[in-house]
Amino acid sequence: MKHVIVTQDLPADVLQATAARFQVSQISLKALGPEAFLKQIGEPDALIVSPGDPVNAALIAELPESVRVISSYSVGLDHVDLAAAEARGITVTNTPDVLTDATADVALLLILGALRGAAEAFRMISEDRWTGWQPAQVFGRDVTGKRLGIYGAGRIGLATVKRAQAFGMPVHYWSGRSRSADFDAIGAEPVSDMDAFLSRCDVLSLHCPSTPTTRGLVNAALIEKLPPRAVLINTGRGDLVVDGDVIAALKSCRLGAVGLDVFNGEPDIDPRYRTLSNAFVLPHIGSATEETRLAMGKVLLANLHDALSGT
């Protein structure tokens, strides 16, 4: 039986299915740190890692020769140094597709919540400040008719477009110079000039991976190019935005609201997001449904099986 290290608590069903096919050891990279982790893992065939695990070049360089595969329980692979893995001949796998709908649902939840003032409305109840229906109270803004700009024309962006269109949002998208036939086919408008793209974003939704070129994308200069009181949505990765700039814009109402599911340095998020009335924030639940996390487990195991069967 191949030996697999699992670095984070997987859902019970996924762990059980993994243990039925592999010899499993649960060893936390985050809790132990790289040195102690490397001392404890022995000579496994594969690692199952998750977002937040620092699988960086230094760790990969020290992995035992036996490690042939790093399988991530996620679509995003920004926590794994892919170049370092390739240099060592280690296969890296992820779990795309099966989490597209769940994550797009959360993008819609954030759009609705941010535009409708859900953070403040929720606090009014939870802090027992509600005095009853009033003509002028917790004013949100209509979703219908707001122009949605999708940054990054991938699968989750596409699924978000379909949902947003059902809510009456006209959609445009930016994906560099290339166009997406899938986006075009459902009537999302390509806008290749970045300034023109931004100037039409009543709502800007980020659907790109975290890479050296996209990190810090949403900064003060970009925010200035958005319409007044634009709404920022992020289900991608926290480091796509510069928190200080976003928070300053929320305070001055240059940004009308944000809906965020991902954060720089999560779970240690900038505490100001917790109290701003125009920040609707969730704890990285994009793919967190029973069905989706189970489906991710199946893809993970198929990936592992395929990658290890030739070794």
Dig out the tokens for 110 from the structure: 């954030």
Alpha carbon distance 93, 55 (integer Å):
13
136: left (phi over 0), alpha (psi -120 to 50) or beta: beta
The answer to whether 44 contacts ligand DGY (rule: CB under 6 A) is: no
Among 7, 71, 74, 303, binds ligand DGY (CB under 6 A): 74
The answer to whether 51 contacts ligand DGY (rule: CB under 6 A) is: yes
Among 117, 157, 256, 286, binds ligand DGY (CB under 6 A): 286
Dig out the tokens for 260 from the structure: 């965020």
Burial level of 291, CB count in 10 A (0-12/13-18/19+)?
A: exposed
- Angle (CA) 9-14-18 rounded to 5° is 95
Residue 102 or 191 with smaller CB distance to ligand DGY: 102
The answer to whether 100 contacts ligand DGY (rule: CB under 6 A) is: no
Catalytic residue among 237, 254, 272, 305: 237
The answer to whether 281 contacts ligand DGY (rule: CB under 6 A) is: no
| Amino acid in the structure at residue 273 | Y
The answer to whether 75 contacts ligand DGY (rule: CB under 6 A) is: yes
Catalytic residue among 79, 229, 254, 266: 266
Alpha carbon distance 218, 215 (integer Å):
8
Q: How far is the CB of 99 from ligand DGY (least distance, A)?
A: 6
Q: How far is the CB of 236 from ligand DGY (least distance, A)?
A: 8
Of 4, 43, 49, 15, the C-alpha closest to 29 is 49
On whether the CB atoms of residues 218 and 240 are closer than 8 A, the answer is yes
Residues in the interface with ligand DGY (CB under 6 A) total: 7
Among 2, 53, 70, 76, binds ligand DGY (CB under 6 A): 76
Place of tokens 């296969």: 91
Q: How far is the CB of 122 from ligand DGY (least distance, A)?
A: 22
Q: Please confirm, yes or no, whether 290 is among the known catalytic residues.
A: no
The answer to whether 260 contacts ligand DGY (rule: CB under 6 A) is: no
Catalytic residue among 284, 290, 291, 293: 284
Place of tokens 């004013």: 139
The SS3 call for residue 46 is strand
Q: Which residues contact residue 94 at a Cβ distance below 8 angstroms, ignoring those fewer than 6 apart?
A: 71, 72, 74, 75, 76, 77, 303
Residue 116 or 237 with smaller CB distance to ligand DGY: 237
Dig out the tokens for 69 from the structure: 């595969």
On whether the CB atoms of residues 289 and 102 are closer than 8 A, the answer is yes
Q: Please confirm, yes or no, whether 224 is among the known catalytic residues.
A: no
Q: Please confirm, yes or no, whether 3 is among the known catalytic residues.
A: no
For the chain, give the number of residues: 311
The answer to whether 297 contacts ligand DGY (rule: CB under 6 A) is: no
Considering only 68-76, 106-114, 125-133, 141-149, which stretch makes contact with ligand DGY by CB under 6 A?
68-76
Residue 175 or 292 with smaller CB distance to ligand DGY: 292
Q: How far is the CB of 281 from ligand DGY (least distance, A)?
A: 15
The answer to whether 160 contacts ligand DGY (rule: CB under 6 A) is: no
The answer to whether 287 contacts ligand DGY (rule: CB under 6 A) is: yes
Q: Residue numbers of the site for ligand DGY (CB under 6 A)?
A: 51, 74-76, 99, 286-287
Active site residues: 237, 266, 284
